[in-house]
Structure 1
Amino acid sequence: MPEKYAIADLTWRELDAATDETSTLLLPVGSTEQHGHHLPLGVDTHMPEAICRRIAERSRCLVAPAIPYGVSPHHTFKPGTVTVGSETFRRYVRDVCVSTSEWGIETVLLVNGHYLVQDPELEIVVRDLRTDHGMRAFHVPLVDLFADLADEIRESDLSFHASEFETSMMLALCPDLVHMDRAEATTIAEEALPLTDYDALGDNEVGWALSADEMAELTPTGNLGDPTVATVETGERLVERVVSKAVSLVDALERPEG
């Protein structure tokens, strides 16, 4: 493998040589949306980008430039949020992946930093890539990879958006972009409806979604939960859990047959 794994930093000849060594590509998929008073708009893109770099340092794979815009209509009640339609998003991500197959990529991991909300779209993209284009595709939502550990070490009862988990991971990955002196806890006065849960690790037994008006009513700051309990140590543990699990998948995919 070349020392550089980010395809944006390679010449076409370097990339051509790299695809002789690996046919696996990590595609960070994020969003640009409000994350409270203490986190930047690019959280959902910064996290998968940094995590993909860590994965690539430990496994045989390449990393594509991130997709920074996602499905975020529920966050448009605050400035800076950019959202695209569900169909537009799916087609764009799919077309990016199909394009890479033309120069040697056989397997793509969609590393999703805007987890929970755009999970449904990326599941459809994975199905289309596999059934219509013959690619090995996987959806990798960060929350699913760290959920077991987060449930063990969490300090807050509620962490849904821009709170304990995301803030901790940003402290570990991009500390210069985190303003802990501005962090504020937000609680939800009313209980969630039956079969639904506002928590990122909650038991949601039915499909549902929040609108921008509903989010505005729930949180004046933009975050849901308590980011003040976030720590670098928690973030590093969550990040390491994600990276180690993803590396195990990439290594299995890259293992020679026979």
Structure 2
Amino acid sequence: MTDATDDVYRLAEMTWEEVEAAIETTRTLLLPVGSTEQHGTHMPLGVDVFMPEAICERVAAATGCLLAPPIWYGVSPHHTFKPGTFTVESETFQRYVRDVCVSAGEWGVENVLLVNGHYLVQDPELEVVVRELTTDHGLRAFHVPLVSVFEDVATATRTSEVSFHAAEFETSLMLAVAPDLVDLEAAEAVDPPDDAVPLTDYDAYGDNRVGWALSPGRMDALTHTGSLGDPTAATEANGRALVEAAVENVVTLVDALADTRA
């Protein structure tokens, strides 16, 4: 139970009476969505949840909107070549996330932000969920991939040419929000191959103009560490800048939703 002097926004720590009172002042819910999957030899399995949850905590503290417990399991079949990775079927994931949001709508939530730390890979699933929540369930739903809301800062501060998985961006962000979980001494740069076909690229902001995917066997052939890119280029300062940009952008959306509430 939350202390009466604390900000009340973490749903898992609230009573139903506190939720009932909070719904009188906000109808917006942040739902961190990630995955539990390998992130190289220098970071833990929970990176894709730790990142969006940390950003959502800051947004909720700034705006007073509600923060749901995160979705820990996602669509990660290509990472099963390393132990510790969990994955669920695309349809299972979509139904689960949708049902979580629909249940929130039943007790008063009107706006849902799916803040996605497993960006790029499960973007297609969350786009489908957003459409279903909007057209079939009367919610205002938004897919918020972190790679989009910190893009300007990421492209301005990057020093490595490739940041694909557990590389510069994710490692920097983790250094800012959970430095005790990062072992930079174990980090190793892994260059991608030169055989990417046209309109695809092994970079978060590369020439990715068509949909494509990786199999576990292909990932295993690409990287012996599990990461792809250069995590040694990461810095805490750049991570803080990524966090600040993401929080600022999401706060802007949450405030706009509050201003347009009927």
TM-score between both structures, scaled by the size of structure 2 = 0.96
Q: 1:239, CA displacement in angstroms?
A: 0.6
- Which residue of structure 2 lines up, in the alignment, with residue 11 of structure 1? 15
- Which residue of structure 1 lines up, in the alignment, with residue 198 of structure 2? 194
Counterpart amino acid of residue 54 in structure 2: A
8 Å Cα contact 2:8/2:64 also seen in 1: no
Distance in structure 1 (CA, Å) of the matches to 2:209 and 2:248 = 29
Match of residue 76, structure 2, among 72, 75, 84: 72
What do the CA deviations read for 1:9-63 (whole angstroms, capped 9, x no partner)? Answer: 0000011000001000000001000000000000001111111000011113100
Range moving further from structure 2, 163-172 or 139-148: 139-148
* SS of equivalent residue, structure 1 residue 97: helix
Match of residue 39, structure 1, among 38, 43, 48: 43
Structure 1 position 106 matched with structure 2 position 106: no
- Which residue of structure 1 lines up, in the alignment, with residue 96 of structure 2? 92
Counterpart amino acid of residue 155 in structure 2: D
Distance 1:128 1:82, change over 3 A: same
8 Å Cα contact 2:35/2:71 also seen in 1: yes
Range moving further from structure 2, 72-81 or 148-157: 148-157
8 Å Cα contact 1:161/1:225 also seen in 2: yes
- Which residue of structure 2 lines up, in the alignment, with residue 169 of structure 1? 173
Structure 1 position 216 matched with structure 2 position 220: yes
Q: 1:2, CA displacement in angstroms?
A: 6.7
Counterpart amino acid of residue 70 in structure 2: A
Distance in structure 2 (CA, Å) of the matches to 1:2 and 1:172 = 24
What do the CA deviations read for 1:211-231 (whole angstroms, capped 9, x no partner)? Answer: 110000000000000000100
Structure 1 position 119 matched with structure 2 position 117: no
Counterpart amino acid of residue 158 in structure 2: R
Distance in structure 2 (CA, Å) of the matches to 1:2 and 1:101 = 25
Match of residue 62, structure 1, among 59, 62, 66: 66
* SS of equivalent residue, structure 1 residue 111: strand
Q: 1:191, CA displacement in angstroms?
A: 3.4
Counterpart amino acid of residue 255 in structure 1: D
Q: Figure out how many residues of one structure are paired with residues of the other and give that number.
A: 258
Distance in structure 2 (CA, Å) of the matches to 1:198 and 1:114 = 15
What do the CA deviations read for 1:73-92 (whole angstroms, capped 9, x no partner)? Answer: 00000000000000000000
Q: 1:189, CA displacement in angstroms?
A: 3.1
Distance in structure 2 (CA, Å) of the matches to 1:257 and 1:114 = 30
Structure 1, gaps ≥5 residues long: none
**Identical amino acids, percent of aligned pairs:** 65
* SS of equivalent residue, structure 1 residue 27: strand
Q: 1:4, CA displacement in angstroms?
A: 2.0
8 Å Cα contact 1:28/1:111 also seen in 2: yes
Range moving further from structure 2, 185-194 or 203-212: 185-194
TM-score between both structures, scaled by the size of structure 1 = 0.98
Displaced runs of 4 or more, over 6 A: none
* SS of equivalent residue, structure 2 residue 150: helix
Structure 1 position 142 matched with structure 2 position 130: no
Range moving further from structure 2, 22-31 or 247-256: 247-256
- Which residue of structure 2 lines up, in the alignment, with residue 28 of structure 1? 32
Q: 1:257, CA displacement in angstroms?
A: 5.3
- Which residue of structure 1 lines up, in the alignment, with residue 160 of structure 2? 156
Distance in structure 1 (CA, Å) of the matches to 2:171 and 2:217 = 24
Match of residue 53, structure 2, among 49, 74, 78: 49
Counterpart amino acid of residue 72 in structure 2: P
What do the CA deviations read for 1:126-171 (whole angstroms, capped 9, x no partner)? Answer: 0000000000000000001111221111010010000000000000
Structure 2, gaps ≥5 residues long: none
8 Å Cα contact 1:60/1:251 also seen in 2: no
- Which residue of structure 2 lines up, in the alignment, with residue 229 of structure 1? 233
